[in-house]
């Protein structure tokens, strides 16, 4: 869990996007019922399959969106790469750094997905979801 005055990031340990959305609804409903947190307006901003987090300016992840029920196919995914520390690297190395970090993160994620898909009978595994609330 990471939090500041503007956002909260929570690792859910859920692999299904639908389970993640249900879990966040449960958390938000619970917070709205408590007197201390009922005046705080939180909403789901993003769901990530995998997120490598250092701080707000240094992270890499795979953001996903659930398609409408009428649409058939895979959920949409976007690679998010924000490493402010990259500016301290030589210009020639910066593109390689991005390629290596994204490739490494993708490889780790794919191996985890394969591992968990073998351990479960579910074939719709989409990732270890992280929620970005603002």
- What is the domain range of residue 13? 2-133
Q: What does DSSP say about strands 44-55 and 2-3: parallel, antiparallel, or unpaired? A: unpaired
Nearest to 58 by CA among 122, 118, 105: 105
Domain count, the chain: 1
pTM of the entire predicted model: 0.67
93, two tokens: 């190395």
- Residue 2 sits at the vertex; the CA angle it makes with 29 and 66, to the nearest 5 degrees, is 55
pLDDT per residue of the chain (134 residues) written in tens, 0 to 9: 788 878 888 888 787 788 888 888 898 898 888 888 888 888 888 888 888 888 889 999 888 876 655 454 556 788 899 999 899 999 999 989 999 999 999 998 888 878 777 655 443 334 455 555 54
By CB atoms closer than 10 A (0-12, 13-18, 19+), residue 60 is: buried
How many Å apart are CA 13 and CA 88, to the nearest integer?
Answer: 34
17 contacts 75 by C-beta, under 8 angstroms: yes
Q: What does DSSP say about strands 76-83 and 58-65: parallel, antiparallel, or unpaired? A: antiparallel
How many Å apart are CA 19 and CA 47, to the nearest integer?
Answer: 12
17, two tokens: 């996007």
């Amino acid at each position: 869990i990471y939090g500041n005055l503007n956002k909260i990031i929570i690792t859910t340990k859920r692999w299904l996007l639908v389970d993640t959305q249900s879990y966040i609804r449960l958390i938000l409903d619970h917070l709205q019922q408590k007197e201390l947190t009922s005046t705080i307006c939180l909403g789901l901003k993003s769901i990530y399959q995998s997120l490598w987090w250092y701080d707000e300016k240094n992270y890499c992840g795979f953001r996903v969106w659930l398609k409408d029920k009428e649409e058939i196919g895979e959920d949409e995914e976007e690679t998010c790469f924000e490493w402010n520390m990259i500016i301290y690297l030589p210009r020639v190395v910066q593109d390689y750094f991005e390629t290596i970090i994204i490739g490494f993160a993708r490889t780790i994620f794919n191996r985890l997905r394969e591992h968990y898909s073998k351990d479960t009978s579910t074939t719709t595994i989409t990732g270890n979801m992280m929620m970005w609330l603002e």
